[in-house]
Amino acid sequence: MRRMRRMGRLVLAIGAVSVAAISVGGCASRERAGHGHGGGHRHHGDIGEYAAMLERPDREGWQKRDKVIAALRLKPGERVADVGCGPGYFAVPIASAVGSAGKVWAVDVEPKMLERTRQHATEAGVSNVELVNCAMDDPGLPVGEVDTIVIVNTYHHFPNRPAYIAKLRAALAPGGRLVNIDFIPKPKEERGFGPPEWMQIPRAVVDAEMAAAGLVPVRSHLFLPEQYFVEYSAK
């Protein structure tokens, strides 16, 4: 496992390495047609289409990326992990926000998502992104080194959440925080996008799961129309 993690991690060296070479840990599950989420959490449809869906220009209307990043009050030098980074929609601008003294671990189970993140990082001229091709049940982050863990629209994908959150908790540096943004449960026909209703998790459930790992809400942001946006820290 340790060897697999080593293989799955590389410091972004623009143009010098290929994410396609990374090995993938994972599980087999079938894609449910059309909604861009794997039936057993992992996506097995066309990753290019999935990434394009995550990057649709109309996402900004409800995701308010710049406002989210401003609300995080990131400091130069901060060490951030974006777990389930997808095509780097948040990871890359966060890498710019923390500057060259800071770093971002862009973590995903899908090598093609990491390849997309690498491309966006190159276009943005940032070189402080470390791509981590994690296993489904382990974010593969170093223990005690991450100031801020950001999870956007991904919490509902994690298998065995208590065990997964415990690993995230262990990755936090002293005083660190975990930020979770995910969909307020709503029937799909009322929203028209996002995960299917059976995958949506109420905030109260997330709070209880975080509390079991010793994390409590310290800040809630209420400006996202479709989502809760909560920062957790150790009790």
131 forms part of the interface with ligand SAM (CB under 6 A): no
79 forms part of the interface with ligand SAM (CB under 6 A): no
Judged by beta carbon, residue 37 or residue 103, the one nearer ligand SAM is 37
Which of residues 105, 158, 228, 229 is near ligand SAM by CB under 6 A? 158
Judged by beta carbon, residue 91 or residue 215, the one nearer ligand SAM is 91
Which of residues 22, 81, 83, 165 is near ligand SAM by CB under 6 A? 83
- Identify the CA nearest to 131 among candidates 225, 17, 25, 41: 17
Contact assessment for residue 188 and residue 182, using Cβ atoms and an 8 Å cutoff: no
152 forms part of the interface with ligand SAM (CB under 6 A): yes
153 forms part of the interface with ligand SAM (CB under 6 A): yes
Cα–Cα distance, 124 to 74 (Å, whole number): 18
**Residue 198 DSSP one-character state:** G
Contact assessment for residue 29 and residue 44, using Cβ atoms and an 8 Å cutoff: yes
DSSP 79-112: EEEEET-TTTTTHHHHHHHH-TTSEEEEEES-HH
230 forms part of the interface with ligand SAM (CB under 6 A): no
Judged by beta carbon, residue 90 or residue 105, the one nearer ligand SAM is 90
Q: Which helix (H) or strand (E) holds 146?
A: strand 146-152
Which of residues 154, 180, 200, 227 is near ligand SAM by CB under 6 A? 154
Which range of residues in 5-13, 82-90, 200-208, 223-231 is near ligand SAM by CB under 6 A?
82-90
Which of residues 136, 146, 178, 179 is near ligand SAM by CB under 6 A? 136
Cα–Cα distance, 166 to 195 (Å, whole number): 24
What type of residue sits at position 207?
D
110 forms part of the interface with ligand SAM (CB under 6 A): yes
Site map 40..69 versus ligand SAM, x via CB under 6 A: -xxx----------x---------------
Q: List binders of ligand SAM among 23-42 (CB under 6 A).
A: 41-42
Cα–Cα distance, 27 to 158 (Å, whole number): 12
Task: Judge residue 24's burial from the number of C-beta atoms within 10 Å of its C-beta, 0-12 exposed, 13-18 middle, 19 or more buried.
Answer: middle
Cα–Cα distance, 149 to 35 (Å, whole number): 26
Judged by beta carbon, residue 44 or residue 219, the one nearer ligand SAM is 44
Judged by beta carbon, residue 113 or residue 146, the one nearer ligand SAM is 113
Interacting residues with ligand SAM (CB under 6 A): 41-43, 54, 83-86, 89-90, 107-110, 113, 134, 136, 152-154, 157-158
